[in-house]
Structure 1
Amino acid sequence: MAGVLLAATTAIAQSVGDDDDATPSVGLDLPKDLTVFGHSDPNVHKATAIVNGTIITDTDVDQRLALVVAANGGKIPEDEKERLRLQVLRNLIDETLQIQEARANDIKISKEEIQQTFERVSSNFKRTPNDFAAYLREKGSSEASIKRQIEGELSWNRLLRRRVEPFVSVSEEEVKAVIDRLNASKGAHEYHVAEIYLSATPDTQAQVLANAQRIVDQVRKGGSFVAYARQYSEASTAAVGGDLGWVRAGQLPEALAQAVQTLTNGQISDPISVPGGYSVIALVDQRQVLTSDARDAVLSLKQISITFPPNLTQTTAAPKVEAFAKAVQGIQGCGKVEEVASQIGAEVVQSDQVKVRDLPPALQTMLVNLSIGQATQPFGSLQEGIRSLVLCGRDDPQVSDGPSYDQIYNQMQEERVNRRAQRYLRDLRRDAVVDYR
C-alpha cells in the first residue's frame, strides 16, 4: 500500500513541477518546486484487505454492496447495511482466493468470455450492455464490479470441473436406491426448501442468533431471501440462493423437518437451532411424491380489469368495485367476457399456457376450484386497478413418473461436488495471507 501512495504522490509532485510558468499567481506565497506529502489523490483508494498480495479496496466493497442493496429493492436499513458490508468483504476475499487458485492451476478466463457473460446478464435485465452499465452506475455499482464477480464464478466452476468433479462418483446402485425410495414413498409430501445457515460457537451463539433474527425480519419486510442467502449463508448452497431443491421431511434434520411442515408456500421460519449454528428456511413450494398436483394444470384465462383515476378515495370507488364484482360474477362462459367488459368500461387480456403453480398463492386456491367459464373474486387495489380472471380452459396434469435416472444422478453428483468445493475453499482460507487495513 505504501508503494501505491508513494507512486501517487510522486506523480502529483512531478505534474506540478514540470512547468514553472504554468503555476498561476493567486496572491499566495507558494513555492514553485513543491512536494506533496501524504495521500492527496482521490482516485487512490484505501485498501480494506490484501489477500495474498491482491488488494481489495473500499470502493470494491461499496460497489458490490450496492448490487446487493439493489437486489433487495433498496430496502436495507443503514445498520443492517453495515453488517452486510462485512459479509460482502468476506465474499470478496473468497472470490479473490478462487480466482488466485484457478490461475495457479493455469486457468484464466478471457476478457471475451467475461464480456459474453456480461451481455447475457444484461439481456436478463432486458437491457443492452451499455444500458446495463449505466444502470449499475446509477445504483452505485459498476460494470467492473459485476465482471469481477463473473470472473470469480467462471474461474471457480472451471477449477472444480478439473480438480473436483473427476474424483466424484455416483454408482448405479445408489441412483436405483433413490428411485426405489421414491416409489415406496408415493403420495408422501415433498417440499421445495431454501436455507440460510449461519455457524456458531458457544461464544458467538447469542450474536449469531441475533444476526439470524435480523435477516428474518428483513426478508419478512420484503427483502430478497435469495440475496441474503448468497451473502450470509455458510452452506454450499449459498451460490444458488440457498436452494435445497425438492426434499422430503425425513431427509432434513429433525428440527428443520418439524419447521417446514408448519410453513405455507412463501413463508420463512424463525431461526432454528441446529448442530453447529442456526438455520433459517423458506418454503418455496410443496407437492406429493409421484402424484398429480392440480397446481400443475395449464390454464387458458381471460383477465378483465378496470382502473381508477389518481387520488380516488375508497368511499368513491366502492360503488364501482361492487358493480364490477356483480358484473364478473354474472359472466356465463368466456364468450361473454368482451360483452360484459364493454358494459362496465373494462379491458380484456387473454393468456394461454398459464400454469397454476406460477400464479400467486391466493389465486392458485381460487383457480383450482373454478369450473370452466367461471370468474375469480375481484382482486387488486385502487392504485393498480381491480381485476378478475375468467377460466376458459384447463389441461389437467398427468400423474408424475418422478425424476429420471439422469436427473437423480446429476443431483447426487452436484451435492457431492458442492461438499468437496466447500472443503476446498475452507483450505484456501486457512492457508491464505490476509492483511486487513
Structure 2
Amino acid sequence: MNINKVVFKKMIFRLLVILIFFVFSKLHAFENRILFKINNEIVTTVDVSEEINYLSAVNKKINDLDKNTVISIAKNSIIKENLKKIELKKNFQIINLNEKELNMFIANIYKNIGINNLNNFKKYLNEKNIDFKRIEEKIKIDRSWNQMIYNKYADQIKIDRESIEKELKNKKIKSYLISEIVFRAKDKEELKKKFDKIKKTIIEKDFETAAIIHSVSDSSQNGGNIGWIKENSFSNIILKNISKILPNEFTDPISIPGGFIIIKVNDLKNEKAIINLEEETSRTINAKINNQLSQFSNIYLNKIRKDIFINE
C-alpha cells in the first residue's frame, strides 16, 4: 500500500512538472510573439507589455482606459521612440546629460506622480519591475531629439518679446469680495434639507442673517463676511464654482474638509498683478518656444515616418 502511494505521488509530480512546462512554454511563446517591424527592428508583445507598464507607472490615468486603447497608445509610443532613434543615428548623436541635468528631468517625472524624492521613485519603479536605466535612456533620447529639432527649426521660431512684456505689464488678476456659510451634513438627505433651510432664510431675510443662524464658522459672528480674496488664493474647486456666478449670487454647497461651504460673491474687481516681470517673461517665452518646437517635432516625425518601413 505504501509502495502504491509513493508511485502515485511520483506520477502526480511528473504530470505537474509536464503541465507547468507546457503552460510556461505556451506563455513564453505568446509573450515573445512578433507584432510588427520598424525597418529591421522587431517589436514583440514583451516590448508592448513593458511600454504599457512604463506608461501606466508615469501616468496613472492610463489605467482608466480600455485595454485596446492602452495597447494602441503603447504601440504608438514605441514607434515614435524608434523613429527618433533612427533619425538621431543618422543626423545627430545621443546627448550625454550630466548627473545634475539628468536628475532634474527625472524629478519632473516623479513629482508629477506625487513622489517626493529619487530614492522613493527608484523603489516605486522596482515594485513595477521597471529598469531605472530605461527611464534614463528615454530622457536622453527625448532631450537629444528636442535639441536636434531646435537646431533644425531655430530660425523659424517666432517670439515677440516686446508684446509679451507689454501683456504681462498689463496682466490683471480678479479679486472677490465674499461671504460664507459653513455647515455640516452626514448624508445627501441631510445636506438637501439643510441647504433648503438656508436658502429659505436667505430669501426671507438675507445671506448675512443666514450666516449668523446656520454657519458653524467663526465668520458667522460678522454675517459670514470674509473680505477681498485674490483668485489665486482659492482652491481649484472653489474658484471653479465662484467663477460661474455673478455678484450678489451664491454657490450651491461645495464639499470641504469637515463639511460644506456656500459662498456669496458680493463684488469683484480686476487688479494689476504683482509679478517679477523678468521671470514671467522668461517663463512665457520658454513656454511659447516649447509649444512651437512641439509642433515642428510632430511635423518632422510625420515627414520621416514616410521614409521608414513600418510593418504592422
| TM-score interval, smaller chain | 0.5 to 0.7
Q: Match for 2:71 among 71, 82, 85?
A: 85
CA contact (8 A) 1:96 1:152 kept: no
Residues in 2 aligned to 1:169 and 1:380: alpha-carbon distance in whole angstroms: 50
1:369 aligned onto 2:247: yes
Shift of residue 162 of structure 1?
3.8
Give 1:379's aligned residue. Answer: 253
CA contact (8 A) 1:304 1:346 kept: yes
1:161 aligned onto 2:35: no
Write the mapping of 1:173-188 to structure 2, written as runs, cut at 5 A: 175=160
Q: Write the letter of the residue equivalent to 2:214.
A: I
- What's the TM-score once normalised by structure 2's chain length? 0.59
Q: Write the letter of the residue equivalent to 1:95.
A: E
Q: Match for 1:53 among 41, 45, 52?
A: 41
Q: Write the letter of the residue equivalent to 2:113.
A: F
CA contact (8 A) 2:178 2:229 kept: yes
Q: Could you say if the C-alpha distance between residues 383 and 72 of structure 1 is closer, same or farther in structure 2, counting changes exceeding 3 Å?
A: farther
Give 1:244's aligned residue. Answer: none
Shift of residue 53 of structure 1?
2.9
Give 2:214's aligned residue. Answer: 344
Give 2:4's aligned residue. Answer: none
CA-based RMSD of the aligned residues comes to 5.6
Q: Could you say if the C-alpha distance between residues 410 and 165 of structure 1 is closer, same or farther in structure 2, counting changes exceeding 3 Å?
A: farther
Shift of residue 86 of structure 1?
2.0
Residues in 2 aligned to 1:72 and 1:28: alpha-carbon distance in whole angstroms: 43
Shift of residue 425 of structure 1?
1.7
Q: What is the percentage of aligned positions where both structures have the same residue?
A: 11
Shift of residue 107 of structure 1?
1.2
Q: Match for 1:421 among 282, 297, 305?
A: 297
Residues in 2 aligned to 1:396 and 1:99: alpha-carbon distance in whole angstroms: 49
SS at match of 2:11: coil
Q: Match for 1:107 among 94, 106, 117?
A: 94
- What's the TM-score once normalised by structure 1's chain length? 0.45
Which protein has the bigger helix share? Answer: 2
Shift of residue 169 of structure 1?
1.7
1:62 aligned onto 2:48: no
CA contact (8 A) 2:176 2:229 kept: yes
Q: Match for 1:432 among 301, 305, 308?
A: 308
Shift of residue 388 of structure 1?
1.4
Q: Match for 1:40 among 25, 32, 47?
A: 25
Q: Write the letter of the residue equivalent to 2:262.
A: S
- Per-residue displacement from partner, 1:169-203 (whole Å, max 9, x unpaired)? 2599x849x95xxx9xx9xxxxxxxxxxxxxxxxx
- Per-residue displacement from partner, 1:95-151 (whole Å, max 9, x unpaired)? 23324544663314569565553344333333345666777799xxx3738975674
Residues in 1 aligned to 2:218 and 2:154: alpha-carbon distance in whole angstroms: 54
Name the count of aligned residue pairs: 278
Residues in 2 aligned to 1:360 and 1:143: alpha-carbon distance in whole angstroms: 40
Question: Bigger radius of gyration, 1 or 2?
Answer: 2
Write the mapping of 1:240-251 to structure 2, written as runs, cut at 5 A: none
Residues in 2 aligned to 1:360 and 1:29: alpha-carbon distance in whole angstroms: 66
